[in-house]
Amino acid sequence: MEKEFEQMEQQFKNYIPILDALKDENRHAIILLLARNKSGLNVNTIAEHISLSRPAVSHHLKVLRQAGFVDYEKKNVENYYVLTIRKPLEQLKLLIASIEAQCSQS
């Protein structure tokens, strides 16, 4: 039983970047904006739609990218960001399943 709790604790630590990325409303707005624009958007366009500065948008995109929610494609001299949400969502599902399994054993 103790080993299972240690594994779950490690899972939580592994998911910190994903959970951290989801705690900010600006990042929610970026995710939703990219969901509506499947071909990708550059930083300037994202900044125009959510009323943030380019540096602020870049920061949020970096956090989202590190957590696996977005990636970018280089087009000419600009990066176009696209949503790549499947992997972090699958990881969250695994975490939830692990917690549910542990709770049902109690």
Task: Check residue 69 and report its DSSP letter.
Answer: S
With 0.95 as the threshold, say if the pTM is over it: no
Closest among 34, 100, 101, 95 to 61, alpha carbons compared = 34
Phi, psi of 77 (to 5 degrees): -105, 0
pLDDT in tens, the chain (106 residues): 577 778 778 877 888 888 899 999 999 999 999 999 999 999 999 999 998 999 999 999 999 999 999 999 999 899 999 999 888 888 888 888 877 877 777 5
pLDDT at 106 (0 to 100): 56
Rounded-to-integer distance, Cα 13 and Cα 16, Å: 5
Please state, in angstroms and rounded to a whole number, the distance separating the CA atoms of residues 85 and 93.
Answer: 12
Predicted local distance difference test score (pLDDT) of residue 52: 94
Closest to 43 in 3D by CA, of 32, 26, 25, 56: 56
Residue ranges and CATH numbers for the domains of the chain are 2-105 (1.10.10.10)
pLDDT at 27: 97
**What local confidence, expressed as pLDDT, does residue 47 receive?**
97
pLDDT for 1: 59
Q: What is the DSSP letter of 70?
A: E
